[in-house]
Structure 1
Amino acid sequence: MSVKQELLDVLACPKCKGDIRLSKDSSYIVCDECKLLYEIREDIPIMLIDEAKKVDSTEEY
């Protein structure tokens, strides 16, 4: 089971308040603006800035 589209529609990046999307492998919530990856653990998105993974580019996710 993965994060449902209805949840993605109401979530926003906690840092920039911008749009987010699900990664290709459904293991992260991705903010392309901030280049942050928020891990999904046991079908729960961990939307904490301090726990987000900073990447140089989100294109591969």
Structure 2
Amino acid sequence: MPLEASLLEILACPACHAALREDTAAGELICTAERCGLAYPVRDGIPVLLIDEARRPA
């Protein structure tokens, strides 16, 4: 279930404050900053923006 565009516009990466982009196939929000790139899970349509829950880039 995709997030509303208005919500995605105001969300930011908790680690570096960069914008997030949605990866609906993986069910994640991904930080757009090259130096960060953390991937935050979306569970039941709710973004889990906790650094401890984020996946590090490969």
TM bin, normalised by shorter chain, reads 0.7 to 0.9
2:18 is matched by which residue type in structure 1?
G
SS of the residue aligned with 2:42? strand
Deviations 1:16-58 (A, max 9, x none): 00111001516100013212110000000000001000013xx
1:35 is matched by which residue type in structure 2?
G
Looking at structure 2, the residues matched to 2 and 42 of structure 1 have their Cα atoms a distance apart, in angstroms, of 11
Q: How does 1:7-26 map to 2 (within 5 A)?
A: 7-25=7-25
Q: How does 1:21-40 map to 2 (within 5 A)?
A: 21-25=21-25, 27-33=27-33, 34-40=36-42
Structure 1 unaligned spans of 5+? 57-61
Q: Are the aligned partners of 1:2 and 1:26 in contact in 2 as well (CA < 8 Å)?
A: no
What corresponds to 1:59 in structure 2? none
What corresponds to 2:3 in structure 1? 3
Matched residues, number: 56
Structure 2 unaligned spans of 5+? none
TM-score when scaled to structure 2? Answer: 0.85
Q: Are the aligned partners of 1:37 and 1:52 in contact in 2 as well (CA < 8 Å)?
A: yes
